[in-house]
């Protein structure tokens, strides 16, 4: 029997951290090791006993709510491998720098140096990677951001699906369905499961909100698949307009080209064109001196703010996780004796459970 200990991420948007235990084979793995974003960040309840008993850690992608607690895990004595995709691995440098500069960290800053990141190659996609007699895994792209993956684990005689953060219809990034469909346990991202939000409608509303070519607009973005989608869409749909990208966002788009196997068909060329185009420039000040569309998380003075993340502006909301319809679609190809929906706020989780057809969720019971 696979035992699941949820250390964060259930009825919670952030702090994703799951401990998987298989007593028969004495196997213990951790899926993601994140913090709840905010001031202060909230850490999962890790202990030295947990850290020192793990056989392996697997990361779905490099967002803070999936990896931010890794230095604490190392500080508590974890010395094993931290598996992740090569594209995720390539993005770690600035993150590790940030860990070492954190004043408020609940770990010694040198702990970050102890982490033994172990990337798997793009060529290993869909293949079984055997770690021991009792443990093997397989991965595929999950469409959420550069390097994001889902996992299938085989532990003893049982199998487990972990979606990580997933986007089924990203414009930029590929999502592959898992080849296997029946699992003992499936842990599925339902981040936007409390709503139905169409990508086409969000796009149309957004383009309408950006209608004045004399105005400076700011779209707040972090390094994410959502940022790539928004930039590529606006670049294509508003051909006369100037786009200003902050340096980190610009670098991130260039990184995407280095891992083109992550991208949907045609997106490599679209990204190359965008990065070559004179109307796309690097943002150098915090003041909007020219009309155009500014992509950065930092406040730019003199712009009209377009809130693509805000619950207060559902019409402009642009999804980065499965909504109700996406979860339903996922469950048509993934059957599990036990299902766990994670990454949802409590009110979204309740709405999702109330909405889901019982035959899809109750083959063994939904973890509540």
Sites of contact with Zn ion (CB under 5 A):
63, 65, 165
Ordered alpha helix ranges (H), 170-240: 199-209, 225-237
Task: Give residues with Cβ within 8 angstroms of 123, minimum separation 6.
Answer: none
CB of 342 to Zn ion, least distance (A): 9
Tokens 């990141």 -> residue: 117
Distances (CA, A) of 74 to 34, 40, 90, 252, 356: 13, 20, 20, 27, 39
The residue (of 165 and 348) whose beta carbon lies closer to Zn ion is 165
Closest residue to Zn ion, judged by C-beta, is 63
CB of 67 to Zn ion, least distance (A): 10
CB of 27 to Zn ion, least distance (A): 25
The residue (of 155 and 253) whose beta carbon lies closer to Zn ion is 253
The residue (of 65 and 229) whose beta carbon lies closer to Zn ion is 65
CB of 310 to Zn ion, least distance (A): 18
Task: Give residues with Cβ within 8 angstroms of 8, minimum separation 6.
Answer: 14, 15, 16, 17, 34, 36, 42, 44
Tokens 């959502």 -> residue: 226
The residue (of 69 and 155) whose beta carbon lies closer to Zn ion is 69
DSSP string, 236-272: HH-TT--EEE-HHHHHHHHHHHHTGGGBPTTHHHHHH
CB of 197 to Zn ion, least distance (A): 17
The residue (of 75 and 165) whose beta carbon lies closer to Zn ion is 165
CB of 148 to Zn ion, least distance (A): 7
The residue (of 64 and 184) whose beta carbon lies closer to Zn ion is 64
CB of 165 to Zn ion, least distance (A): 4
CB 126 within 8 A of CB 179: yes
The residue (of 41 and 65) whose beta carbon lies closer to Zn ion is 65
CB of 96 to Zn ion, least distance (A): 18
Mapped onto helix, strand or coil, the DSSP state of residue 318 is: coil
**Burial class (CB within 10 angstroms; exposed 0-12, middle 13-18, buried 19+) of 221:** buried
Both structure tokens of 135:
């443990």
Q: What is the SS3 assignment for 285-316?
A: CCECCCCEEEECCCCCECCEECCCCCCCCHHH
The residue (of 155 and 219) whose beta carbon lies closer to Zn ion is 219
The residue (of 166 and 306) whose beta carbon lies closer to Zn ion is 166
CB of 158 to Zn ion, least distance (A): 25
Task: Give the Cα separation of 364 and 336 in Å (integer).
Answer: 7
Strands 129-130 and 135-141 turn out to be antiparallel
């Amino acid at each position: 029997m696979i035992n699941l200990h949820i250390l964060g991420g259930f009825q919670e948007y952030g702090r994703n951290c799951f401990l998987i235990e298989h007593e028969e084979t004495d196997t213990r793995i951790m899926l993601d090791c994140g913090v709840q974003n905010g001031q202060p960040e909230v850490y999962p309840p890790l202990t030295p006993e947990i850290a020192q008993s793990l056989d392996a850690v697997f990361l779905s992608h490099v967002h803070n709510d999936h990896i931010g607690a890794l230095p604490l895990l190392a500080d508590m004595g974890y010395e094993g491998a931290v598996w992740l995709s090569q594209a995720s691995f390539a993005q770690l440098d600035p993150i590790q720098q940030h860990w070492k500069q954190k004043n408020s960290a609940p770990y010694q800053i040198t702990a970050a140096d102890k982490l033994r990141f172990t990337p798997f190659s793009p060529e290993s996609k869909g293949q079984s990677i055997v770690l021991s007699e009792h443990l093997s895994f397989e991965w595929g792209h999950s469409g959420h951001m550069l390097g994001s993956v889902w996992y299938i684990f085989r532990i003893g005689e049982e199998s487990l699906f972990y979606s990580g953060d997933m986007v089924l219809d990203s414009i930029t990034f590929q999502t592959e369905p898992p080849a296997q469909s029946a699992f003992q346990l499936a842990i599925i991202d339902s981040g936007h499961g409390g709503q139905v939000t169409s990508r086409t409608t969000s796009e149309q509303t957004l383009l309408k909100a950006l209608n004045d070519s004399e105005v400076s607009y700011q779209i707040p973005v972090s390094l994410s698949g959502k940022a790539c989608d928004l930039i590529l869409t606006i670049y294509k749909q508003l051909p006369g307009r100037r786009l200003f990208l902050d340096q980190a966002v610009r670098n991130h788009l260039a990184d995407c080209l280095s891992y083109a196997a992550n991208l949907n068909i045609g997106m490599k060329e679209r990204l190359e064109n965008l990065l070559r185009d004179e109307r796309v420039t690097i943002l150098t000040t915090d003041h909007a001196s020219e009309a155009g569309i500014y992509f950065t998380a930092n406040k730019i003075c003199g712009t009209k703010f377009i809130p693509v993340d805000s619950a207060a502006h559902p019409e402009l909301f642009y999804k980065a996780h499965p909504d109700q319809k996406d979860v339903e679609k996922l469950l048509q190809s993934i059957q599990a004796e036990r299902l766990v929906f994670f990454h949802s706020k409590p009110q979204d989780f309740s709405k999702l459970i109330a909405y889901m057809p019982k035959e899809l969720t109750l083959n063994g019971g939904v973890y509540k």
